[in-house]
Amino acid sequence: MIDRADYYAAKLAYETDPSDVHAALKAGESIVVIDVRSDEAWAQGRVAGATHMHYSEIATRAPLEISADAEVVVYCWSPGCNAGAKGAQEFAKLGYRVREMIGGFEYWVREGYAIEDADGVHHRPVDPLTGIARIRSHA
């Protein structure tokens, strides 16, 4: 039987969330954020500064475009989408240090972080169910 503390340590080694990704990027940490969704979803909006690489392209594109020692974070649309897990698996097979951003793009947007689309970089309103601390700090 696995120890509970070991289970959660292992889980955190393979997952992250929008808040932690935002904090890492803000702190200047060197992480590569990869959007593994479809072209149509990418066009609707994405994490500002992310790279688009559909999970089916990772095996061929990643070795050419991303340093083998990079720390990679992948995301898909939401908790109801498993493309992030598929993308993480492809990066892991290639030997990358990879984590999946749980909550995906949906929670990135709901927390009010910078998104990018054809019109540039902007923010949507913070959802009070996910970002209440940020709403209070800006009041």
Going residue by residue through the chain (139 aa), what tens digit of pLDDT does each one get?
779 999 999 999 999 999 999 999 999 999 999 999 999 999 999 999 999 999 999 999 999 999 999 999 999 999 889 999 999 999 999 999 999 999 999 999 999 999 999 999 999 999 988 866 554 454 4
| Cα 120 from Cα 81, distance rounded (Å) | 26
Report whether 61 contacts 96 (CB < 8 A).
Answer: no
**Which domains does the chain carry?**
15-137 (3.40.250.10)
Distances (CA, A) of 123 to 19, 39, 40, 45: 15, 21, 20, 11
Pinpoint the alpha helices (H) of the chain. Answer: 4-14, 18-26, 39-44, 58-65, 83-93, 104-110, 132-137
Q: What DSSP character marks residue 132?
A: H
How many of the other CB atoms lie within 10 Å of CB of 65? 14
| Cα 22 from Cα 31, distance rounded (Å) | 11
Residue found by looking up tokens 């559909």 in the block: 54
Enter the pTM of the model: 0.90
pLDDT, residue 36, reads 98
pLDDT, residue 108, reads 96
